[in-house]
Structure 1
């Protein structure tokens, strides 16, 4: 995860924790029955849990998309490098074979001249 995503996740977690703490403190100090307060806390906790799940899903999708983009870019780059290396190998291989053939012909010519 990138630094920006870590910061975003940290800020999101802080906001959710702050919101939860604020809601709970507000309810605890509200002049209502304990049963009603517990019901409201439970409802708010469920709401916050759902919101956290939704935010997690959003962040998770963004990370998956970025991973997919990075992965496909890496594969494409690796393929390009492989083709470049293969093309270079083929080019220089052909040149070496050609030069070697020329050298063999020169040596054979030289040996034939020496035999005469």
Structure 2
């Protein structure tokens, strides 16, 4: 989870730095204020669109990874459940058989004592 937060922080920092650089460059350019404001507005809109596209891309990757992890977890859980059940059934039958043998032996010993 910290890797995702770190990546998002880096991405936000890069976008903010790029925006600040573009704005400063335009403010110091020898153009009319009206033209500079128009360029700033256009560039801000472009940066907003890029950020939204990147967010959508990362969001889709996260959803895909979640789906993959979820499927893998379900398959593993089912496999473990079947293994445990098979082991239980195997040992249950052995215990029932051994218990029946012990009961017979105890009965035999009791009969011999009479």
Would you call these one fold, judging by a TM-score over 0.5?
yes
Structure of higher RCO (CA pairs closer than 8 Å, 6+ residues apart): 1
Unaligned runs of 5+ residues in structure 1 are none
1:70: which partner in 2? 69
Unaligned runs of 5+ residues in structure 2 are none
Which digits, 9 at most, give the CA deviation of each residue in 1:76-97, with x for residues without a partner?
Answer: 2211221122112111111110
CA RMSD of aligned residues (A): 1.6
Match of 2:30, SS?
coil
The correspondence of residues 1-116 of structure 1 with structure 2, limited to 5 A, is 1-3=1-3, 5-115=4-114
Match of 1:31, SS?
coil
Which digits, 9 at most, give the CA deviation of each residue in 1:55-102, with x for residues without a partner?
Answer: 001111111111112111211221122112211211111111001111
TM-score by length of 2: 0.88
Query: Matches of 1:88 and 1:52 in 2, distance apart?
Result: 53
**Range with greater deviation from structure 2 (50-59 or 21-30):** 21-30
Aligned length: 114
Runs of 4+ in 1 over 6 A off after TM superposition: none
Q: CA deviation at 1:2?
A: 4.5
